Amino acid sequence: MILKICGIVRIPPLSKIRFILLQNRQGKTRLAKYYVPLEESEKHKVEYEVHRLVVNRDAKFTNFVEFRTHKVIYRRYAGLFFSVCVDITDNELAYLECIHLFVEILDHFFSNVCELDLVFNFHKVYLILDEFILAGELQETSKRAIIERMSELEKLE
């Protein structure tokens, strides 16, 4: 699928996940991981649009919205929106699970995680994310395994 608006860079239909965003209700991005090449200006546009899409939806609505030629699966945890952009053909429920798994891991790692934790430990969050998803594909689905990995890595520091 070719992203219509992004005229500068053609996005190869390679990764299942295109990007993951963590944004708060005001629109500030707390985490942005892109698995496709995008220019800076494009990234900003994307973040802005996704935020607008997601923040206006009622809690009773479905957790999936169409975004350009893809889908965004999102869920709100306290004041943060976790948004994952995937292909149209992807299984939405599976990615909802994926988001929940990520949140659970963060919770375990930071002991009752809150937004501030994510702000001050952004590199750790990235680390966890990298263990979790590689090149846009979900690679580890066991919470235990990831936490073990992380503790190993911590020891190396």
| Binding footprint of another protein on the chain (CB under 8 A) | 2, 4, 12-14, 16, 28-32, 35, 37, 40, 43-44, 58, 60-66, 89, 91-94, 96-97, 119-120, 122-123, 126-127, 130, 134-135, 137-142, 145, 149, 152-153, 156-157
Distance in Å, CB of 64 to another protein, minimum: 7
Q: How far is CA 130 from CA 41, 83, 135, 149, in A?
A: 24, 16, 9, 11
Region of 21 on the Ramachandran plot (φ > 0 left; ψ -120 to 50 alpha; else beta)? beta
State which residue, 31 or 107, has the beta carbon closest to another protein.
Answer: 31
State which residue, 26 or 61, has the beta carbon closest to another protein.
Answer: 61
Helix axes 143-156, 122-132, angle to 10 degrees: 130
Distance in Å, CB of 112 to another protein, minimum: 20
State the Cα–Cα distance between residues 13 and 86, nearest whole angstrom: 11
